[in-house]
Amino acid sequence: MLNLGNGVKKEHLVGAVVGIGAVAAGYYLYKKNQNKVDNF
């Protein structure tokens, strides 16, 4: 069953934050090492 209560909303919010954080971290590391990555 799909429960549209606070638990689902909270899990979705946490998942979104984690996803955005992972993308931001990956993008930051790519920019930081862009020359190395592009030459590789």
| pLDDT in the model for residue 2 | 54
d(CA 2, CA 17): 21
d(CA 34, CA 5): 43
Dihedral sign from CA coordinates of 16, 22, 28, 31: negative
To the nearest whole number, what is the mean pLDDT of the chain?
Answer: 81
| pLDDT in the model for residue 6 | 58
Residue 12 has pLDDT above 70, yes or no: yes
Q: Are 22 and 30 in contact (CB under 8 A)?
A: no
